[in-house]
Amino acid sequence: MIRLGRRHLFEDLPRFFASLGGIVFAVQLVVVQLGIFFGFVHSSSLLIQESRADFWAAAKEMQYLEITLPVPYSWIAKARAVSGVAEVQPIIIRSIVFENTSGTLDYGRVVGFDPAGSLVHLDDHPVGDLRAIAKPGAFAADAGQLSSLGVSGIGAEGTIRTKKARLVALVHDTQPIISPTFLYTSLRNAVLWSPAMIDEFVRDPFTSSFDINSPLNFVLVKAKPGVDLVALRGALARALPNSRVLTKAEMIDVTQRFWVKRTNIGFILGLCAVLGILVGMVVVAQILYTSVNEHIREYGTLKALGIPDRLLYASIIWQAVVMGLIGFIPGLLLGLVVAGYAQNARGIAIEITPPITLEVLGLSIAMCVVAAIFAVRRAMTIDPMIVFKA
Amino acid sequence: MVGDSIVLTYPSAAGPVHVLRGANIHADRGEIVLVDGPSGSGKTTLLSILGGILTPASGRVTIEGKDLTQMLRPERARLRLARLGFVFQGFNLLRALTARENIELPLQALGIGRAERLKMIDALLERLGLADKGTRRPAQLSGGEQQRVAIARALAGSPVVVLADEPTASLDRENGAEVMKLLCELARERKTSVLIASHDQRIAPFADRIISLVDGRC
């Protein structure tokens, strides 16, 4: 019966290619939507993933990387005093507005950290001198964000809160897709540029600089080798009042979950993927249904001869699976082309990883099999008496 | 095969249509029986009931002592595959398959091994004068050749009964005679009963017995 399914599938090549077109379109849509979704989720936590810290300590109200309350500078010393801690480094993440020399504004996040420290890691192969972000007014940004900033490259200047800002290095694969442009700089620059916190306002909003009174957002902690991480985490939590001490993996999870659960982005991308699947299903269902209708007398003959129904249905399902398999390859390739274009043109990471590829393969086959149900139902209703009509 | 008091009635807007009013028929092993009757007399309906495709309103159909009318649909299908063969007026070959593949279908469904299948198909093709046409598709065969392939398909699974519905209606006189001669010869060789529904009087000489279906009775 597989032989029959094969012949039915390939006997009308224009129709076969038309159905393939529908599947390719559907697979490509699903691949890209899932790729965008996973790329987006992955990108939301790149800073955390690349960090060399074992723990991320933040205010207990922290929602994710970009929404948290300030914590006191004194946490650095408290964390360092905990037994088993090898290194402690603070991070400041605040909102800024960058104005380029043409007066174009871009909303951004300034990420301040100690460039000499080892816990924040951006890029092994940056363009320009990443250590230069320690200089006053210097910053680095993701290479994919040049157009957002409205600058042409290294050396470009702009202003942040009337202070000069100069792009000194470009890094790669660090920028969350949906977040404002991340500007990586020193703690001192970050405090200088970021909107005044109330305590800084009291001091002097325009001359304030990073010091013992500056609030932080995160304290990154690296444990000494061989230290019991569970115990260390407990000790850190006790040492830092009202804190949330998360492992790196937990911090990644919190950040990714925030985007997936608290925003509609996952729903929207999922909806597009579902629409793609529906389009593919309609195309495959229509093709298979038409095929069964065209061969209705033959299916009737098989039923009259006593060929088991399951073999008839297997022949239809086989056609669906083969369509899914054949349509998957060009669909995937097209998805990869789109992903490549998005990465090159806009720096948007569309993640098409082997697990996603396998998921889409399964999904496209399932899509075709579900679509075949209509054709199978049609075959089920064929009256074998049809064979007696000349 | 025995058909006993078979009744079939169709509902219609003008009232029930009594197609079969208590038809009785039997065919002994290896016997060739012609069911004669004018068009619309219910010959095809009778054949489809005997083949377990239609279920009668009342009456019994037994094959080798098993009552078809008491069987569930899948059970009837299994019995059709294993014990019955069909020859249709329109040949009903699968156009996407070659002659050889058409004959192979029921054998494959019966679970017969490939080597044995090929042997059986070769023997049938040889016997039916189609040895050189096994790889041809139905569209590449003449009407007579197509019906011979259909006969081979019907006999391939070594059925006890072959039900043939107007087997010569789509053929000219010469081909019709040739097809009937082959069908009857093969059936006799294999001790297979053949029930032929036809109003073609040219078939009569091939039959061991002729039954007339008149007013739904025979």
Residues A317-357 pLDDT 10s: 998 899 889 989 999 999 999 999 988 877 778 889 899 89
How sure is the predictor about A209, in pLDDT bands with cuts at 50, 70 and 90? low
The average pLDDT across A55-72 equals 93
The average pLDDT across B118-146 equals 95
Which of chain B's residues have a Cβ under 8 Å away from the Cβ of A4?
A: 94, 96-97, 105
- pLDDT for A12 equals 82
- The answer to whether the CB atoms of B169 and A7 lie below 8 A apart is no
C-beta separation of A341 from A28 below 8 A: no
> In whole angstroms, how far apart are CA A256 and each of A45, A183, A252, B72?
7, 21, 6, 57
- The answer to whether the CB atoms of A385 and B51 lie below 8 A apart is no
How sure is the predictor about B126, in pLDDT bands with cuts at 50, 70 and 90? very high
Residue B46 C-alpha, separation from nearest chain A C-alpha, in angstroms: 11
- The answer to whether the CB atoms of A306 and B170 lie below 8 A apart is no
Comparing A37-46, A341-350, B125-134, which segment has the lowest mean pLDDT?
A341-350
Q: What's the mean pLDDT when you consider all of chain B?
A: 93
Which of chain B's residues have a Cβ under 8 Å away from the Cβ of A311?
A: 109
- pLDDT for A204 equals 44
The average pLDDT across B134-151 equals 96
Classify residue A212 as exposed, middle or buried by CB count within 10 Å of its CB (0-12, 13-18, 19+): exposed
Residues A357-373 pLDDT 10s: 998 899 888 888 888 98
How sure is the predictor about B88, in pLDDT bands with cuts at 50, 70 and 90? very high
User: The tokens 């004018």 sit on which residue?
Assistant: B38
- Residue A257 CA to residue A264 CA, distance in Å, equals 12
- pLDDT for A212 equals 59
- pLDDT for A15 equals 82
The average pLDDT across B55-67 equals 93
- pLDDT for A386 equals 83
C-beta separation of B200 from B166 below 8 A: yes
What share of chain A has pLDDT > 90, as a percent? Answer: 52
DSSP chain B: -EEEEEEEEE--TTS-EEEEEEEEEE--TT-EEEEE--TTSSHHHHHHHHTTSS--SEEEEEETTEEGGGS-HHHHHHHHHHHEEEE-TT----TTS-HHHHHHHHHHHTT--HHHHHHHHHHHHHHTT-TT-TT--GGGS-HHHHHHHHHHHHHHT--SEEEEESTTTTS-HHHHHHHHHHHHHHHHHHT-EEEEE---GGGGGG-SEEEE-BTTB-
- pLDDT for A345 equals 79
**Across the interface, which of B106, B166, B169 has its CB nearest the CB of A305?**
B106
**Across the interface, which of A3, A7, A304 has its CB nearest the CB of B53?**
A304
A10, A301, A386, A389, best to mutate vs chain B, most B CBs in 10 Å: A301
Which of chain A's residues have a Cβ under 8 Å away from the Cβ of B160?
A: none
- Torsion, CA A202, CA A208, CA A209, CA A212, rounded to 10: -20
pTM over cut 0.90: no
Answer whether A304 touches B (CB < 8 Å). Answer: yes
- pLDDT for A200 equals 45
Answer whether B139 touches A (CB < 8 Å). Answer: no
Which of chain B's residues have a Cβ under 8 Å away from the Cβ of A303?
A: 77
Question: Helix (H, G, I), strand (E, B), or coil: what is residue A344?
Answer: helix
Answer whether A297 touches B (CB < 8 Å). Answer: yes
What is the biggest distance separating any 2 CA atoms in chain B, rounded to whole angstroms?
A: 56
- Residue A90 CA to residue A190 CA, distance in Å, equals 12
- The answer to whether the CB atoms of B90 and A4 lie below 8 A apart is no
Interface contacts A/B by beta carbons within 8 Å: 78
- The answer to whether the CB atoms of B105 and A307 lie below 8 A apart is yes
- Residue A191 CA to residue A206 CA, distance in Å, equals 10
In this model, does residue A44 exceed pLDDT 50? Answer: yes
**Across the interface, which of B89, B95, B97 has its CB nearest the CB of A390?**
B89
- The answer to whether the CB atoms of A388 and B47 lie below 8 A apart is yes
- The answer to whether the CB atoms of A301 and B82 lie below 8 A apart is no
Question: Helix (H, G, I), strand (E, B), or coil: what is residue A97?
Answer: strand
Of A73 and A167, the structure prediction assigns the larger pLDDT to A167
The average pLDDT across B59-65 equals 94
- The answer to whether the CB atoms of B94 and A1 lie below 8 A apart is no
**Across the interface, which of B89, B92, B170 has its CB nearest the CB of A301?**
B92
- The answer to whether the CB atoms of A298 and B95 lie below 8 A apart is yes
Answer whether A13 touches B (CB < 8 Å). Answer: no
Strands A163-171 and A127-128: antiparallel
- The answer to whether the CB atoms of A308 and B89 lie below 8 A apart is no
Closest residue of chain A to B106, computed from CA coordinates: A307
- pLDDT for A195 equals 57
How sure is the predictor about A206, in pLDDT bands with cuts at 50, 70 and 90? very low
C-beta separation of B18 from B9 below 8 A: yes
- pLDDT for A337 equals 94
Of A109 and A204, the structure prediction assigns the larger pLDDT to A109
- The answer to whether the CB atoms of B86 and A389 lie below 8 A apart is no
How does DSSP classify residue A268? H
**Across the interface, which of A4, A8, A387 has its CB nearest the CB of B92?**
A387
- pLDDT for B205 equals 93
- The answer to whether the CB atoms of A387 and B86 lie below 8 A apart is yes
Comparing A67-76, A275-284, B25-34, B146-155, which segment has the lowest mean pLDDT?
A275-284
Comparing A6-20, A308-322, B42-56, which segment has the lowest mean pLDDT?
A6-20
Residues A131-142 pLDDT 10s: 999 999 999 999
Residue B45 C-alpha, separation from nearest chain A C-alpha, in angstroms: 9
Q: What's the mean pLDDT when you consider all of chain A?
A: 88
Closest residue of chain B to A3, computed from CA coordinates: B97
What share of chain A has pLDDT > 70, as a percent? Answer: 94
In this model, does residue B168 exceed pLDDT 70? Answer: yes
- pLDDT for A20 equals 85
Geometric angle at alpha carbon A212, from A206 and A217, rounded to 5° = 80
Residues A226-265 pLDDT 10s: 999 999 999 999 999 899 999 999 999 999 999 888 888 7
- Cα A335 from chain centre: 15
- pLDDT for A197 equals 54
- pLDDT for B39 equals 85
- pLDDT for B106 equals 94
- Of A192, A187, A195, the C-alpha closest to A208 is A192
Task: Name the token pair of A368.
Answer: 């075709």
Comparing A49-53, A136-140, A280-284, B117-121, which segment has the lowest mean pLDDT?
A280-284
Answer whether B86 touches A (CB < 8 Å). Answer: yes
